[in-house]
């Protein structure tokens, strides 16, 4: 059935990825244990109907054009009517509890931003969230065409995109303490470590893709939006404040924009990234 589904997808010139989504629906339906799925286990005709309907659902949810059930019925050479396909669709949806839209990287980005920025001053500055969202959205779109990221989970792609995007926001718009608070909130809710080694290659691929496709860096885009290092007075004041706080122990003012391993209570004493 998977081969037949691929032939149908090629015929209508849709994405081959849709076949995988449809087969996922079919596998989950067959494993659901509902009465009709048990019937499909032993009834070839019922199984074929389930497979065809799962493909139809995947096309409906993931392709720009919907395949009419009449066309699907014709492709079955009249073995299944449009009414039978429609009924099977409802049965599959109910068996899957209507969970047919798995989280995408962009959905994770939106969730992480909502959770992470909630307790920061940046929550009062919509431009910061909007910029992080736009930068991250663009990267998640680029990730679709990167074979090297096929094994990366949507949540990891989302976090890597956000970490890259944060490099385009200077300390005036999002200070080091808020960055740490933001990333620790994400880690607490998702269990993802922003400093994990596995994120580094994902970040690198997305960063290279961004620069290659946009033609400029995150910092350059953010500067044009007023979120980069353009506000000289505010920037100088922030630098003077950090220099004053670090002069007592001789430590430098530098801090990684994505470091969450720093002791928050000691950030004004000694800033470092491990």
Say yes or no to pLDDT of 236 above 80. Answer: no
Task: Say if CB 143 and CB 151 are below 8 A apart.
Answer: no
Q: What is the pLDDT of residues 9-29, one digit of tens each?
A: 888 888 776 776 787 788 889
Contacts of 94 (CB under 8 A, 6+ apart): 34
Where do the DSSP E strands lie in 120-171? none
Domain boundary among the residues 95, 119, 144 is at 95
Element (H, E) at 74: helix 69-75
The full length of the chain comes to: 274
Compute the distance between CA of residue 199 and CA of residue 152 in angstroms, rounded to an integer. Answer: 9
Instruction: For residues 201 and 70, state if they share a domain.
Output: no
Compute the distance between CA of residue 56 and CA of residue 86 in angstroms, rounded to an integer. Answer: 10
Q: What is the pLDDT of residues 82-132, one digit of tens each?
A: 999 999 999 999 999 999 886 777 778 989 998 887 766 665 667 788 888
> Domain range for residue 231?
105-266
Q: What is the pLDDT of residues 168-179, one digit of tens each?
A: 887 777 788 888
Instruction: For residues 114 and 242, state if they share a domain.
Output: yes
Is 250 domain-assigned? yes
Is 272 domain-assigned? no
Task: Say if CB 176 and CB 205 are below 8 A apart.
Answer: no
Instruction: For residues 88 and 120, state if they share a domain.
Output: no
Q: Which of 207, 154, 159 is CA-nearest to residue 186? A: 159
Phi/psi for 15 (5° steps) reads: -75, 135
What's the predicted TM-score (pTM) here?
0.54
Is 273 domain-assigned? no
Instruction: For residues 37 and 140, state if they share a domain.
Output: no
Instruction: For residues 136 and 259, state if they share a domain.
Output: yes
Residue 18 burial (CB < 10 Å; 0-12/13-18/19+)?
buried
Domain boundary among the residues 95, 130, 154 is at 95
Task: Say if CB 195 and CB 261 are below 8 A apart.
Answer: yes
Domain boundary among the residues 64, 95, 126 is at 95
pLDDT on residue 50: 95
Instruction: For residues 112 and 40, state if they share a domain.
Output: no
Is 271 domain-assigned? no
Instruction: For residues 22 and 120, state if they share a domain.
Output: no
In degrees, to the nearest 5, what angle opens at C-alpha 91 toward C-alphas 73 and 32? 120
Q: Is 85 left (phi over 0), alpha (psi -120 to 50) or beta?
A: alpha
CA distances 93 to 58, 100, 214, Å, are 12, 8, 40
Instruction: For residues 176 and 210, state if they share a domain.
Output: yes
Instruction: For residues 150 and 33, state if they share a domain.
Output: no
Q: Which long-range contacts link 91-97 to residues 24+ away (Cβ below 8 Å)?
A: 91/34, 91/36, 92/25, 92/29, 92/50, 92/53, 92/54, 92/57, 93/57, 94/34, 95/28, 95/29, 95/32, 95/34, 95/36, 95/37, 96/25, 96/28, 96/29, 96/32
Instruction: For residues 116 and 237, state if they share a domain.
Output: yes
Q: What is the pLDDT of residues 132-151, one digit of tens each?
A: 898 998 898 787 667 788 77
* Domain of residue 10, CATH code: 1.10.472.10
Q: What is the pLDDT of residues 192-233, one digit of tens each?
A: 999 998 899 999 999 999 888 877 777 776 666 565 544 444
Is 64 domain-assigned? yes
Is 23 domain-assigned? yes
User: Count of domains in the chain?
Assistant: 2
């Amino acid at each position: 059935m998977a081969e037949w589904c691929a032939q149908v997808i090629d015929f209508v010139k849709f994405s081959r990825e849709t076949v995988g989504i449809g087969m996922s629906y079919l596998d989950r339906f067959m494993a659901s244990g509902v009465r009709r799925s048990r019937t499909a286990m032993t009834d070839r005709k019922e199984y074929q109907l389930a497979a065809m309907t799962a493909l139809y659902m995947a096309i409906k949810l993931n392709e720009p054009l919907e395949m009419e059930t009449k066309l699907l019925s014709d492709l079955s050479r009249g073995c299944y009517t449009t009414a039978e396909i429609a009924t099977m669709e409802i049965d599959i949806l109910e068996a899957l509890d209507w969970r047919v839209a798995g989280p995408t990287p962009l959905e994770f980005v939106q969730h992480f931003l909502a959770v992470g920025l909630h307790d920061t001053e940046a929550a009062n500055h919509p431009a910061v969230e909007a910029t992080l969202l736009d930068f991250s959205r663009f990267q998640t779109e680029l990730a679709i065409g990167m074979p090297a990221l096929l094994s990366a989970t949507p949540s990891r792609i989302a976090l890597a995109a956000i970490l890259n995007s944060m490099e385009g926001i200077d300390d005036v718009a999002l200070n080091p303490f808020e960055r740490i608070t933001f990333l620790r909130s994400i880690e607490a809710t998702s269990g993802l470590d922003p400093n994990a080694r596995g994120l580094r290659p994902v970040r690198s691929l997305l960063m290279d893709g961004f620069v290659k496709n946009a033609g400029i860096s995150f910092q350059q885009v953010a500067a044009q939006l007023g979120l980069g290092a353009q506000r000289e007075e505010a920037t100088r004041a922030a630098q003077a404040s950090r220099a004053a706080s670090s002069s007592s122990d001789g430590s430098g003012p530098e801090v990684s924009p994505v470091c969450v391993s720093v002791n928050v209570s000691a950030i004004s004493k000694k800033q470092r990234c491990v």
